[in-house]
Chains A and B, each alone.
Chain A
Amino acid sequence: MQKLDYLRESPSQTAGPYVHIGCTPNFTGIDIYGGDLGTSMKTGPVQGEEITVKGTVFDGTGTPLRDAMIEIWQPDAAGLFPSANETRGTADPNFTGWGRSPGDMVTGEFTFETVKPGAVPFPDGRMQAPHITAWVVARGINIGLHTRIYFEDEDAANAADPVLARVEHQNRLPTLLARKEADGVYRFDIHLQGPNETIFFDV
């Protein structure tokens, strides 16, 4: 018999308690790089609606995590990614699309100053509802958790979203919706476990 010569993805290991040393060293007081990557998603005036997305990661007992790292990735307000592999057009040059947060030192709350994302298509051409991709790592998480931040004020788009339509238990859908707290301010709490467990993706 022949062998398929594919390599296997490197096994994941927890980010551990000191992920902030490696990924946000300035936050821990180690100033080698002159600033932490992903702190600001805007490099100048941006197009579209500027919003704040904040939230907290909770464990199965309801305790906030203060040793997590949260990253988000999203298109600009027109639905274009500031990425070398974006082929549909050129994204807002003042928008990076990528944010990284160690959370607040005391409360663990993460905050991203960003723009409301535009819609991007599903592989079959249907439009997805505006969303932000999020990734959570921390001590005790063996492999990074992917989820999406959708918006509660996008009812019509959410109802037509091909990913949200795949959720078997539709009563869990609210775990993927950012709540509007004030004009331009959304809250997206992440529950790793428990009755409000966030829907995580295998994508």
Chain B
Amino acid sequence: MSHPKTPTAGGFIPRDRDWQPDALTPRYKTSVRRSPQSALLSFPSTLSEETSPIFGHAMLGALDNDLILNYAQPGESAIGPRIIVHGRVLDENGRGVPGALVEFWQANAGGRYRHKKESYLAALDPNFGGCGRTITAEDGSYEFRTIYPGPYPWPNGMNDWRPAHIHFSLFGHGFAQRLITQMYFEGDPHIPLCPILSTVKSQAAVDALTALLDMNRTVPMDSRAFKFDMVLRGRRQTYFENRKEGL
């Protein structure tokens, strides 16, 4: 079965700044001194933004997309609820983005990151590193295995907790598509309380970052599954386009 593939040349559809978060979002305090105040300079994308480096499947290790095992001692595995995260990377025209580099990182089941600046008292898991990566297939699909991350407190307000989340970094076919975002889990009561998630401007945007339990992909007696699609910027379709699909 062939899938419609995203074109790899041409100018990008402008980013919808009414949909994306603003730079200055005072409830997320760190943004106050890290937000540019001048207007962004707009211009049509050029080859500098329309091209990107090549990431081949050959660079991936066998366990790169398995956070349960990729930092674990032989015969051991990470502690926590076992989950599969899967979905597709699409462009704004609804076409799959093949060959996209997808990198992900997260806290362990107790909400603790493996980082020297991390100060939360929850225990480290000696078998959990907290990062993985994969490259999307021809139809833009990806999947990885991990543990359900724990919520954790963070210094912002006096009692702010992050919803359980997984960070994603996405690299499509153009540098202008570069995107970092976070995936949240259906039903997490911290979702409406989070100052970082609140930087997006609508419930629809919150929903776009909320993965659903996917019982059809769940592995019985093994792992639950969550489905999370991501959308990168699309290229403008030109009138009387004479390029072949996928070129």
Contacts and interface: CB of A to CB of B under 8 A. Distances in A.
Interface in A173-203: 192-193, 197-203
A19 interface: yes
Most chain B Cβ neighbours within 10 Å, of A7, A128, A141, A144: A7
Contact of B209 (A13, A133, A146, A167): A13
Given A133-B49, A201-B41, A21 B93 contact: no
Contacts of A203: 12, 42-46, 49, 176
Contacts of A120: 46-48
B175 A73 contact: yes
Nearest to B233: A9
Interface stretch (B21-29, B76-84, B216-224): B21-29
Contacts of B93: 6-7
Interface residues of A, number: 80
Contacts of A148: 48
Interface in B113-132: 113-118, 129-132
B138 interface: no
Given A12-B20, A30-B71, A23 B179 contact: no
B15 A85 contact: no
A18 B54 contact: no
A163 B103 CA distance: 32
A86 B51 contact: yes
A87 interface: yes
Given A86-B51, A137-B180, A141-B31, A6 B94 contact: yes
B104 A22 contact: yes
B21 A142 contact: yes
Interface residues of B, number: 90
Interface of B: 8-9, 11-12, 14-17, 19-23, 25, 28, 30-38, 40-55, 61, 63-64, 70-71, 90-94, 99, 103-105, 113-118, 129-133, 167, 169-170, 173-176, 178-182, 196-197, 199-200, 204-205, 208-209, 230-234
Given A10-B208, A22-B105, 12 more contacts: A10-B232, A11-B19, A12-B21, A21-B113, A67-B117, A73-B53, A133-B175, A142-B20, A142-B22, A142-B35, A142-B199, A200-B36
20 contacts: A5-B94, A7-B91, A9-B232, A19-B167, A23-B103, A30-B129, A32-B71, A33-B133, A60-B34, A67-B117, A71-B178, A73-B53, A82-B54, A121-B46, A131-B48, A133-B49, A140-B31, A141-B23, A145-B36, A199-B38
Interface of A: 5-23, 25, 28-30, 32-34, 37, 59-61, 63, 65, 67, 71, 73-75, 81-87, 96-98, 120-123, 128, 131, 133, 135, 137-146, 148, 162-163, 166-167, 172, 192-193, 197-203
